[in-house]
Structure 1
Amino acid sequence: METTLVILGFLFTLFSFLPFLKVPWWWVRVLDFPRLHVAVLLTIVTAAYCLQYSQWTITEIAMLALWIIAILNQVRYIYHFTPLAKVEALRTEKQQPANAFTMMIANVRMVNKKYQAFMELVLQEDPDILVMNEPDEAWHQNVRKEFDTRFPYHIKKPLDNTYGMMLYSKLKLTGSEVRFLVEDKIPSFYTQVELPGGKRFELYTVHPQPPRLLKDTETREAELLLVAKMVKKTGRPSIVAGDLNDVAWSRTTKLFKQISGLLDPRVGRGFYNTYNAFVPLFRYPLDHVFYDPSFRLLGLRLLDKFGSDHLPIIISLNYEPEREDEQDVPVADAEDYQEANELIQEGLEKGEERNEKKQNKG
């Protein structure tokens, strides 16, 4: 029993500290995800070990101290996404918001065939903007009749590689583009959305590759940080939404926020875990909405399952540029910009390599 606890303790401690490595290796970056789970499991192991003895050697005390440091290391990442932390994105104080809208983000899961259940959920929530990740042509054909009528503006790129994307909107869209920022088969969208009062904001939707077996994360980091730099450069109110395949507390997401200057409504409110919908004990916040401080929050909710492995998330915002200075904006320093540029360069090189391999196979 003692040996088992020691092995588990050091294993979870390793899991806690490995993400300090600034490398894109998939088996390291995937450890950014289960910080809460590692903290809980290591706490159980530490408590179980302590209950066995009333007196410890210096070596055992040092070991336990290391485990406690590892637990605290995990907690410091996830703490900001609990109600104990200070809220980052402020709520509106207006009784009748004049420039309010609702956006729904849903990874529909390409192999999921419950088209009707999804459409019923969308009709029930009735968002102004709908972002769909992973639709293929079958999804497109099954929802187009209903959604093309309900949403007069749309951008569509259904694909059979799990990286398709479709955006539907009741609000007018202009200057819409389908972009392939890093890899030829992974699209992102750009458009300008016109609010009821005539003001416009820029909307970016993304769905980069996740860390998975033998697939490192250079291209994910590059895509997210390229979008962050676009947001910063434009200087106009912006929103970035989609399945980022990264958790809210990772170094990459933090760097994305610092470069872009966008807010995360999860901070100080909760995890709002969207994946995996089938495994409640192992869920992570992978679907995100980051927005400019000129917006104020009206509401943020997780929605019911509809057959996908992701839970949809819906957010309501109001455009209030006159009060944007009241919100604390993430800020990047010179070191952050240098790190971002290096990650972008690495990702573009990796993306070019993958593009060439796909062309050769074709």
Structure 2
Amino acid sequence: MKSTLIILGFLFTLFSFLPLIKTPLWWVRVLDFPRLHVAVLLTAVLVAYLYMFGVDGTAETAMITTWSLAILNEVRFIYYFTPLAKKEALRSEQQKPANAFTLMIANVRMVNKEYEKFLQLVLKENPDMLVMNEPNQAWHESVRHELDRRYPYTIKKPLENTYGMLLWSRLKLHESEIRFLVEDGIPSFYTVVELPSGKKFDLFTVHPQPPRLMKNTETREAELLLIAKQSKKTKYPSVVAGDLNDVAWSKTTKLFKEISGMIDPRVGRGFYNTYSALVPLFRYPLDHVFYNPEFRLVSLQRLAKFGSDHFPIAITLNYEPQHEEEQEHHVADQEDKQEADELIQEGLEKGEERSREEQENKKPAQLN
């Protein structure tokens, strides 16, 4: 039993410190996700060891100290997403917000067939805008008749590769674009949204690749940071939303916020875990909404599951530029900007490489 606890303790310690390495390797970056789980499990191992065996000698003292530091390392990331931390996004104080809108985000999971259940959830929530990640043509055909009738403005790119995207809006959309920023098969949307008052804001929707077996994260980092830089150059305040396939406390997300100057409404409020809806013990915040400080938060909620492996999330924001300076936000220094440029270049090169490989795989085999 003692040997088992020691092995588990050092394994979880390794899981804690490995993500500190700046690398896009998938088997390292995937460890950004379970920081809460590692902290809880390592704490359990530490308590069990102390209870059963105590501390005897310098070697064991060093081991227990290392485990404790590993736990603190995990806690320092997730602390900001507990009610103990200071809130980053302030709530609107207007009794009747005059420039408010509700945005609903849902990764529908392409293989999920609960079309009607999802549609009923959308009709119940009645958001001003709906972003769907992972829809294929079957999903589009199953919901478009009802949604097209209710939402006059749309951007559509259903795909069969799990990276399709659909956007419905009852607010006017201008200058809408479907962009392939890094990889040919992975779209993102850009549009200018007009509120009923005539005020406008930019909306970027995104769904980059996650870290997975033999797929490193260069393209994910590049796509998120490209959007961060683009959002700084537009003349309107911006909102970025979608399944980012990254957790809220990762180095990439922090760098995204520094480059974009956006804020996260979960800081100081909670995790709002959206994945996995199918495995209660392993859930992470993967579906995000970031926005400029010109907006104030009205409400943020995780919605009911409908058959996907993601929970939908809905946020209501109010445009209040007069209170912009009251909300603290990150500011990038020169080192941050240089790091972002390097990651973007690395990701673009990797995206071109993957695109070439895909094209080669699509070529018909030549007969000898």
- Give the TM interval when normalised to the shorter protein: over 0.9
Q: Give the 5 Å matches for 1:47-126.
A: 47-126=47-126
Runs of 4 or more consecutive aligned structure 1 residues displaced over 4 Å after TM superposition: none
Q: Which residue of 1 aligns with 2:190?
A: 190
Partner secondary structure for residue 337 of structure 2: helix
**Given that residues 99 and 196 in structure 2 are in contact (C-alpha distance below 8 angstroms), is that contact kept between their aligned partners in structure 1?**
yes
Q: Which amino acid aligns with 1:190?
A: Y
Q: Distance in 1 between matches of 2:66 and 2:107?
A: 39
In structure 2, what is the Cα distance between the partners aligned to 1:178 and 1:211?
24
What CA distance in whole angstroms lies between the structure 2 residues aligned with 1:97 and 1:225? 31
State the AA in 1 paired with 2:280.
P
Residue 357 of structure 1 corresponds to 357
Post-superposition offset of 1:54: 4.2
Cross-structure match for 2:366: none
User: Does the Cα contact within 8 Å between 2:55 and 2:61 map onto a contact in 1?
Assistant: no
CA deviations on 1:103-159 (whole Å, 9 max, x unpaired) are 000000000011000000000000000000000000010111000011000000000
Please report the TM-score for the alignment, with normalisation by the length of structure 2.
0.98
Cα distance change of structure 1 residues 235 and 47 upon mapping to structure 2, 3 Å threshold: farther
Letter aligned with residue 48 of structure 1: A
Other-structure match for 1:346: 346
Residue in 2 that maps onto 1:337 = 337
Partner deviation per Cα, 1:179-220 (whole Å, 9 max, x = no partner): 000000000000000011100000000000000000000000
Alignment of 1:1-362 (within 5 A): 1-362=1-362
Letter in 2 for 1:130: L
State the identity as a percent: 71
1:292-351 alpha-carbon deviations (Å, 9 max, x no partner): 100000000000110100000000010000000100011111111111111101100000
Root-mean-square deviation (CA, aligned residues, Å) is: 0.6
Distance 1:54 1:202 in 2: 58
CA shift for structure 1 position 233: 1.8
Query: SS at 1:257's partner residue?
Result: helix
Question: Could you tell me how far apart the structure 2 residues matched to 1:58 and 1:215 are?
Answer: 42
Whether the 8 Å CA contact 1:293–1:329 is kept in 2: the answer is: yes
Alpha-carbon distance, 1:18 to partner: 0.2
Q: Could you say what secondary structure the match of 2:282 adopts? A: coil
SS in structure 2 at match of 1:268 = coil
8 Å CA contact 2:293–2:324 kept in 1: the answer is yes
Give the paired residue count: 362
- Partner Cα distance (1:344, 1:235) in 2: 23
Q: In the alignment, is the contact (CA less than 8 A) between 1:98 and 1:196 conserved in 2?
A: no
SS in 2 for 1:106: strand
Give 1:235 deviation, angstroms. Answer: 4.6
> How far apart are 1:236 and its partner, in Å?
2.2
Letter in 2 for 1:298: V
Structure 2, unpaired ranges of 5+: 363-368
Shifted more, 166-175 versus 329-338: the winner is 329-338
3-state secondary structure, aligned to 1:255 = helix
- The Cα of 1:72 is off from its aligned counterpart by 0.1
SS in 2 for 1:104: strand
Q: Distance in 2 between matches of 1:78 and 1:348?
A: 30
Letter of the aligned partner of 1:316 in structure 2?
A: T
In the alignment, the residues of structure 1 paired with residue 101 and residue 324 of structure 2 have an alpha-carbon distance, to the nearest angstrom, of 17
- Structure 2 Cα separation of the partners of residues 52 and 357 of structure 1: 55
- 1:215 match: secondary structure: coil
Tell me how far apart the structure 2 counterparts of residues 55 and 156 of structure 1 sit (CA, whole Å): 62
